[in-house]
Chains A and B, each alone.
Chain A
Amino acid sequence: MTDFTDDRLRARESVISGSRWYWPEFLFWIAAASLFFLVPTKLTLLSEIFILGLMALSIDLVLGFAGIVTLGQAAFFGLGAYSAALMAKHGYGAFLFGIIPVNDPLLGLVVAAIVAGIVGFATSFLVLRGSDLTRLMVTLGVGLIIEELANKMKSVTGGSDGLQGVMPAPVLGKWDFDLYGQVAFCYTLAVLFVMFMLVRRLVHSPFGLSLKAIKQNPLRARTIGMPVNARLVAVYTIAAMIAGVAGGLLSQTTQFGSLDMVAFHRSADALLILIFGGAGYLYGGLVGAVAFRVMQDFLGNITPQYWQFWLGVILLILVLFVRGGILGLLRNGREFLSHPGAAKAGAGAVLRALIERRSPLALIFFKGAAKKVISDKRSERDGESGKGAGGV
Chain B
Amino acid sequence: MTVVLETRNLVKKFGGITATDNVSFKLRKGARHALIGPNGAGKTTFVNQLSGVLQPTSGTVLLGGQDITGWSARRRAISGLARTFQINQLFADFTPAQTIVLAIAERENKGWEWFRPAGTRSEYVDEAVELLRSLGLSDVLDQRVGSLAYGRQRLLEIAIAVAAKPHVLLLDEPAAGVPESERDQILDVVSALPEEVALVLIEHDMDLVFRFARSISVLVNGALFVEGTPSEIANDPRVRQVYLGEEELLHV
Residues of A within 8 A of B (CB): 1-2, 4, 7-8, 10-17, 19, 201-202, 204-210, 212-213, 216-217, 219-220, 222-228, 231, 234
Contact = CB atoms under 8 A, between A and B. Distances in A.
Contacts of B51: 223
Contacts, number: 148
Contact of A202 (B98, B115, B119, B141): B115
Interface stretch (B7-15, B28-36, B122-130): B122-130
Contact of A224 (B98, B128, B164): B164
B212 interface: no
Contact of B117 (A201, A212, A213, A219): A201
Contacts of A212: 91, 93-94
A205 B115 CA distance: 6
Given A11-B128, A11-B141, A228-B74, A220 B91 contact: yes
A217 B91 contact: yes
B102 interface: yes
B111 A10 contact: no
A225 B164 contact: yes
B106 A15 contact: no
Interface of B: 51, 53, 72-74, 77-78, 82-83, 85, 89-95, 97-98, 101-103, 105-107, 110-120, 122, 125-126, 128-129, 132-133, 138-139, 141-142, 160, 163-164
Q: Which of A14, A19, A228 is packed against the most chain B CB atoms within 10 Å?
A: A14
A223 B142 contact: no
Given A206-B118, A209-B102, A216 B94 contact: yes
A17 B117 CA distance: 10
B119 A15 contact: yes
A220 B82 CA distance: 11
A15 B74 contact: no
A28 B162 CA distance: 42
A219 B89 contact: yes
Contacts of B163: 224
A208 B114 contact: yes
Contact of A226 (B111, B119, B139): B111
Contacts of A204: 117-119
Given A223-B82, A225-B164, 18 more contacts: A11-B142, A14-B98, A14-B142, A16-B120, A202-B114, A204-B118, A205-B113, A205-B117, A209-B105, A210-B111, A212-B91, A216-B91, A223-B77, A224-B77, A224-B107, A225-B107, A226-B106, A231-B111
A217 B90 contact: yes
- Which A-B residue pairs are the 8 nearest by beta carbons? A16-B119, A15-B119, A225-B77, A14-B142, A11-B97, A220-B89, A19-B117, A206-B105
Contacts of B126: 8
B141 A14 contact: yes
A217 B113 contact: no
Nearest to B114: A207
Contacts of B78: 225
Given A4-B129, A209-B105, A220 B90 contact: yes
A227 B101 CA distance: 17
A329 to B, nearest CB: 19
A223 B82 CA distance: 7
Given A4-B133, A209-B105, A222 B74 contact: yes
B125 A11 contact: yes
Contact of A1 (B114, B116, B138, B164): B138
A144 B164 CA distance: 44
Q: Which of B72, B107, B110, B117 is packed against the most chain A CB atoms within 10 Å?
A: B117
B236 to A, nearest CB: 34
A7 B102 CA distance: 17
Contacts of A7: 129, 132-133, 138, 141
A220 B98 contact: no
Contact of B125 (A8, A219, A231): A8
A15 B129 contact: no
A11 B94 CA distance: 12
A8 B112 CA distance: 24
A363 to B, nearest CB: 30
A209 B111 CA distance: 9
5 contacts: A4-B133, A15-B97, A220-B89, A225-B106, A227-B74
B91 A201 contact: no
A227 B109 CA distance: 11
B102 to A, nearest CB: 5
A2 B110 CA distance: 30
Given A11-B97, A12-B119, A207 B111 contact: yes
Contacts of B74: 222-223, 225-228
Contacts of A15: 95, 97-98, 101, 118-119, 125
A206 B94 contact: no
Given A16-B120, A217-B90, A210 B53 contact: no
Contact of A223 (B83, B101, B105, B132): B83
A217 B89 contact: yes
B116 A205 contact: yes
Q: Which of B53, B95, B111 is packed against the most chain A CB atoms within 10 Å?
A: B111
B97 A14 contact: yes
Contacts of B122: 12
A205 to B, nearest CB: 5
B72 A222 contact: yes
A205 B118 contact: yes
Given A209-B118, A216-B94, A225-B106, A12 B160 contact: no
